[in-house]
Amino acid sequence: MNAKSEPVSQLEAAMTEAARALPSAPALAAKKAEKILKTAPGYAPALLLLGVARRKAGEMPAAIRALESLVRAHPRWAPGHYQLGVTLGAIGRIEQALSAMRRAVGLQPDISNGWRQIVDYLVALGDPAGADRAYANHIAVSTGNPALRAPAAALCEDRLAEAEQLLRSHIERHADDAAAIHMLAEVASRLGREADAERLLARCLELAPEFHPARHKYAIVLHQLGKTTESLAELERLLASDSKNPSYLNLKANALTRIGEYDKAIEAFSAVLADHRSHPKIWIAYGDALKAAGRRTQSVDAYRRSIQRAPTLGEAYWSLANLKTFRFAPTEIEAMRAQLARTALRVEDRLHFEFALGKALEDTAEYAESFAHYAEGNRLRRSSIQYEADDTTEYVRRSIALLTADFFQQRRDWGCNDRSPIFVIGLPRSGSTLIEQILASHSAVEGTKELTDVTRIARSLVGRSGQPDTMQYPEALAALDAAELNALGQRYLQTTRVHRKFGTPHFIDKMPNNWTHVGLIQLMLPNAKIIDARRHPMACCFSCFKQHFARGQPFTFSLSDVGRYYRDYVDLMAHIDEVLPGRIYRIHYERMVDDTQSEVRRLLDYCGLPYEDACLRFHENKRAISTASSEQVRQPIFAEAVDQWRKYEPWLGPLRHALGPAVEAYAGPT
């Protein structure tokens, strides 16, 4: 790294002058660096400065050439690899950026920002477990306290119980050590104890308000807990000091998406992409927001931009397929086949390509090959998740045992009397989005999305203060008194208020899985409307099987699992019909398609709403929709989907067997 011809003092002065120009005039800094390199060829600090200056000036190819030249000449110098990693990441070459950054921290493990960049790259590549490990290293090297080295090492090596014990022991002696509290919060988060992580991070920020990594983690945890408004407030504080930070902006955009602020989310994604246009995962998230907002053409363009930057990213192809109304060109189908022929393709990308190609071949009526791809995508996904169909069956059995007619009669006048919620429950792909869109076209009703608030309330009932940790749900419902149930209803109304934009008398919660919590809903909101969206079991279950759900529906990746799940759902609904006759209003998808006007009138009558013609023109409604059916319900009702499953009937034997009598029992409505 020595300069051969330039006197050291002059060289240092020239470098200082070039570095001083870098923040405000990167092009000038690059010229000065080139001048230095003419008199001191190969001088590493000047090459580094040239690469950074070119990047800041937006001259990415020139920046990469300079930095690649640097790391070839000085392969053991960590700063060169670090800046090359940053530059490659900025143009979306994430895998190469990750490789460069790993070389940097391998040479110099205490580069805190290097570990932080690795976190972002691993998240972009869909490796949350790897990102957690990298974040642990980031925390470890960010603290200079020798007493925290042992717990930091345990955290890095995923020895979480040991890390927790060491940190708690340390905090007992040093209660105000913000770095230790931050590390303990990370342990809690990794163990799935987000509420503990939230409390610890709040304390950490009391002690060290300017501890930005802790505040960022706090915003993430709040987002995970569904406290979106609070998360956004923390992000605004972070953005006040670093307005272009892509991690902050990306989380803000995703948080805004969660609460239905799609125009603001699109604006936030645009801000990220202004400086990180080559980041393929952000293009996908941007496309999702555009899709929900009904901007289909722009959504397709965003997904295709992701593909241009990362042709191996299967999620981008699945995002196009998931528009449902999109049709792949023959060249795109061949591109997917070519990717699946690669042996080095990541499993996460492979399964997305399988689902996408299954949809593409369904559209070209190649049903045998289409099913083969759907089946392989589901096989790959099923192998990576933990789901036991017996657990759902046992849960339903316990629910039926608890939720008797006497149980409800004893609690008849309990709960919150508010009449504003309308719950649409059932299975995914049952026509629930259509029902939501029809109701949301009424002047007195606002559509929101699939809200998770009921599930969070249910989870909070296990291990409540004064109850044994072994208290199960739904048995925990029996321990609640009238005041507590009223408070839960009020809590639901409060936490869902952020999704209500227009002040209408009613709003819709379209989370299909709420069928498992129908007892809780009845107890805490006895005047809420509950609509059961039901579709032919073969059609509904196979449609679930074709749909790659990113989260929340683990029963859909096996024909046997989804068939059993449907049976369990039907069993619980039949029991509720028996003990609370007339409480739940059931709509059959096929009847809605066959006689839309009559079904809409009956639906509105059940909800206590006067008839409005707009409900029949639901496809003209411009509201944002975030579910897989968003593009389909922006069109008039069509009957083609009713019997589409029959094209695949030769391969659906395991599903029919798992459904058993549920198929014949449904024969009436079709």
Tens of pLDDT, residue by residue over 249-286, are 889 999 999 988 999 999 999 988 887 777 888 899 99
In this prediction, residue 288 has a pLDDT band, given cuts at 50, 70 and 90, of very high
Task: Give me the residue label for tokens 């009847």.
Answer: 591
Query: What is the tens place of the pLDDT at every residue in 122-162?
Result: 877 767 778 877 887 887 777 767 888 888 888 888 889 99
More confident residue, 482 or 5: 482
98 close to 122: Cβ distance less than 8 angstroms:
yes
CA–CA separation, 321 and 618 (whole Å): 23
Give residues with Cβ within 8 angstroms of 439, minimum separation 6: 422, 424, 445, 447, 508, 603, 607, 615
Query: What is the tens place of the pLDDT at every residue in 165-197?
Result: 999 999 999 999 998 999 999 999 989 899 999
pLDDT of residue 365: 96
Closest CA to 426 of 434, 415, 414, 418: 434
Backbone angles phi, psi at 625, to 5 degrees: -140, 130
Give residues with Cβ within 8 angstroms of 132, minimum separation 6: 190
Residue 246 pLDDT more than 90? no
Residue 470 pLDDT more than 60? no
In this prediction, residue 624 has a pLDDT band, given cuts at 50, 70 and 90, of low
Residue 33 pLDDT more than 80? yes
Share of the chain above pLDDT 70, in %: 93
587 close to 533: Cβ distance less than 8 angstroms:
yes
pLDDT of residue 619: 83
Sheet of strand 585-588: strand arrangement: 445-449, 506-509, 421-426, 529-534, 585-588
Query: What is the tens place of the pLDDT at every residue in 71-117?
Result: 999 999 999 999 999 999 888 788 899 999 999 999 998 888 898 88
pLDDT of residue 468: 47
In this prediction, residue 4 has a pLDDT band, given cuts at 50, 70 and 90, of very low
Compute the average pLDDT of residues 626-654.
Answer: 75
Give residues with Cβ within 8 angstroms of 111, minimum separation 6: 78, 82, 104, 105, 141
Closest CA to 29 of 11, 2, 56: 56
Residue 62 pLDDT more than 90? yes
Residue 432 CB coordination number (10 Å)? 27
Rg (CA), the chain: 28
Domains with residue ranges and CATH for the chain? 389-665 (3.40.50.300)
Compute the average pLDDT of residues 454-472.
Answer: 74
Give first-to-last CA distance, the chain, whole Å: 79
Residue 625 pLDDT more than 80? no
* Least confidently predicted of 43-47, 56-60, 427-431, 459-463: 459-463
Closest CA to 513 of 428, 608, 592, 628: 428
421 close to 436: Cβ distance less than 8 angstroms:
no
Query: What is the tens place of the pLDDT at every residue in 362-421?
Result: 999 999 999 999 999 999 999 999 999 999 999 999 999 999 999 999 999 899 999 999
Query: What is the tens place of the pLDDT at every residue in 298-333?
Result: 999 999 999 998 899 999 999 999 998 899 999 999
Angle between helices 296-309 and 314-321 in degrees, nearest 10: 160
**Mean pLDDT score of the chain, rounded to an integer?**
90
In this prediction, residue 636 has a pLDDT band, given cuts at 50, 70 and 90, of low
* Least confidently predicted of 52-56, 200-204, 609-613, 630-634: 630-634
Residue 466 pLDDT more than 80? no
CA–CA separation, 232 and 48 (whole Å): 37
CA–CA separation, 248 and 218 (whole Å): 12
**Two structure tokens written together for 608:** 């206590």
CA–CA separation, 435 and 431 (whole Å): 7
In this prediction, residue 628 has a pLDDT band, given cuts at 50, 70 and 90, of low
Residue 28 pLDDT more than 70? yes
Residue positions counted in the chain: 670
Closest CA to 428 of 509, 535, 324: 535
pLDDT of residue 137: 81
Closest CA to 51 of 18, 13, 4: 18
**Two structure tokens written together for 374:** 């759907």
CA–CA separation, 544 and 206 (whole Å): 46
